[in-house]
């Protein structure tokens, strides 16, 4: 992920981050389902979505830690 994309994600509000996380989890579910029935066109998208989920969760956790301190 490019730093410009990362900075755009960091600019999102907490509510927007939560919505993005939900959307990514839904997309991952659909990709896994497509993979199971051999209809997945781009298998690398699974890895990319998992990575995006990790990034969003990391940013959410960073903000939680900042508010606790």
Write out pLDDT tens, residues 8-19: 999 999 999 999
> Where do the domains of the chain lie, and which CATH numbers do they carry?
3-68 (1.10.287.310)
Query: 65 is written with which tokens?
Result: 């830690």
pLDDT at residue 3, as a whole number: 86
pTM: 0.90
pLDDT at position 1 over 90: no
What share of the chain has pLDDT > 70, as a percent? Answer: 100
Residue 48: pLDDT band by 50, 70, 90 thresholds? very high
- Output the CA–CA distances (angstroms, integers) from residue 3 to 10, 24, 50, in the order listed: 10, 19, 18
Measured distance CA(40)–CA(55) in Å, rounded: 23
| Contact between 63 and 14 (Cβ < 8 Å) | yes
Residue 44: pLDDT band by 50, 70, 90 thresholds? very high
């Amino acid at each position: 992920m490019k730093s410009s994309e990362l900075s755009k994600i960091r600019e999102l509000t907490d509510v927007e981050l939560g919505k993005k996380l939900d959307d990514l989890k839904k997309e991952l579910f659909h990709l896994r389902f497509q993979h199971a029935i051999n209809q997945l066109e781009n298998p690398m998208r699974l890895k990319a979505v998992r990575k995006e989920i990790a990034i969003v969760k990391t940013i959410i956790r960073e903000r939680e830690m900042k508010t606790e301190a």
